[in-house]
Amino acid sequence: MSSFNTADFNTAEDWNTLAERVALHVRNYLGGLEAVARGEAGAHTVPLLLLEVSQVILAGAQLGASADVILPDNWEPEVGEDPDLDAVRQGLAERLALVDDYTEVFDPYKDNESTSYRLSDDLVDVASDLIHGLRHYEKGRPLEALWWWQYSYFNHWGNHAGAALRALHAVVAGARLDVETEPVATP
């Protein structure tokens, strides 16, 4: 049983603790994604991405289980230009060339048609949303960071991370389970 309890988030200190925890997951995800994009994972690219996405989805689940984060003035301070992640996207597309394209039912309760996606796009879309919140956190605004991470988790990056997780899982599971049977020797 997890020690996470939404009732624990009643003070600024509690929110700061959650923000610190999420920021750690975000930094790990971003670092792992950049390393994979540079080719540092080699043959372990897909399993490592599966691990990175799984861990950042844990942070999203904690945000989803938390009470709504409400900014006192109901506005988000400016954080500046979004970073250019095209090099990461391109690096991932090269590493994932054989499995980059996949299909997904975006909302299983509203859609019944599949949509085409790319893992490289999904992984970078998640990174972009996470970086935005991390920039608030690094400027000493943990509540704004939590608000952004929670809002964008429900609105954008949670769906893309979930879809990418299912696609990565399918690749890893397929590689492990689709083993040719060895011929049985007959006496």
* Terminal Cα-to-Cα distance of the chain (whole angstroms): 52
**Is residue 141 domain-resident?**
yes
**For residue 49, with 0-12 CB atoms within 10 Å meaning exposed, 13-18 middle and 19 or more buried, which class applies?**
buried
In degrees, rounded to 5, the angle at the alpha carbon of residue 61 between the alpha carbons of residues 27 and 100 is 65
How much is the pLDDT for 8? 47
pLDDT, tens digit, 9 for 90 and up, residues 5-20: 444 455 667 889 999 9
**Is residue 182 domain-resident?**
no
pLDDT, tens digit, 9 for 90 and up, residues 128-151: 999 999 999 999 999 999 999 999
**Is residue 180 domain-resident?**
no
Res. 27: pLDDT tops 90? yes
How much is the pLDDT for 7? 42
How much is the pLDDT for 179? 59
How much is the pLDDT for 5? 42
Res. 181: pLDDT tops 60? no
How much is the pLDDT for 6? 43
**Is residue 56 domain-resident?**
yes
**Is residue 184 domain-resident?**
no
**Is residue 145 domain-resident?**
yes
Q: For residue 158, what are the domain limits?
A: 7-175
How much is the pLDDT for 11? 62
**Is residue 1 domain-resident?**
no
Q: Which residue has the tokens 């624990």?
A: 8
Query: In the structure encoding, which two tokens stand for residue 112, read together?
Result: 């019944």
**Is residue 2 domain-resident?**
no
Q: Which residue has the tokens 């979930």?
A: 162
CB 59 within 8 A of CB 25: yes
Q: Which residue has the tokens 């509540």?
A: 143
pLDDT, tens digit, 9 for 90 and up, residues 33-79: 999 999 999 999 999 999 999 999 999 999 999 999 988 887 777 88
Can you tell me whether residue 72 is helix, strand or coil? coil
CATH number at residue 148: 1.20.120.1550
Res. 113: pLDDT tops 70? yes
Arithmetic mean of pLDDT, 152-178: 93
Three-class SS of 79-111: CCCCCCCHHHHHHHHHHCCCCCEEEECCCCCCC
How much is the pLDDT for 180? 57
Q: How many domains, in total, are found in the chain?
A: 1
How much is the pLDDT for 177? 85
CB 140 within 8 A of CB 112: no
To the nearest whole number, what is the mean pLDDT of the chain? 88
Provide, rounded to the nearest whole percent, the portion of the chain with pLDDT above 70: 88
